[in-house]
Amino acid sequence: MKITVYGPGCAKCKHTEELIRKIIAETGATAEVEKVGDIREMVKAGVMSTPAVAVDGVLMMAGRVPRPEEVKAWLAG
C-alpha cells in the first residue's frame, strides 16, 4: 500500500504525515508513505486543497488532517 500526502509544506501537512506514520507504526501495517510538495504533481493528481491524502493513487480526502480512525480504515483496506 502506498500513501501519498500532498502539501507544499506547513504545520497541517506535516502533522498529517506524522499522524499516518505513527498509526502505521502502532498497527504494524505494511505501507509506504511519500510526501509530495511539488505543485506540478499536485495539480496532476487533481489536488484542490491541502493537506490531501491518496491511497494507491486514489484521493481519499483533502483540506484537513485525517482522523486517526480514517487512517486505520485505509490501512485495513
Partner 1 sequence: MSECCATPQDVILLACSGGSNVGQISNEAAKSLDQLGQGRMYCAIGIGAGLGPFIETVQKADVCVAIDGCNVACLKKALDNAGLTPDVYVVVTDYGIEKGHHFEITREQIAEVADAAAKALAERAGTAQA
Closest distance of CB 75 from partner 1, Å: 23
State the catalytic residues. 10, 13
Sheet bearing 2-6, strands edge to edge: 32-36, 2-6, 52-55, 58-62
**Using CB under 8 A, which of 5, 42, 54, 75 touches partner 1?**
42
9: phi then psi, degrees, rounded to nearest 5: 120, 105
**Using CB under 8 A, which of 2, 18, 48, 58 touches partner 1?**
48
The binding site for partner 1 (CB under 8 A) comprises 7-13, 38-44, 46-51, 63
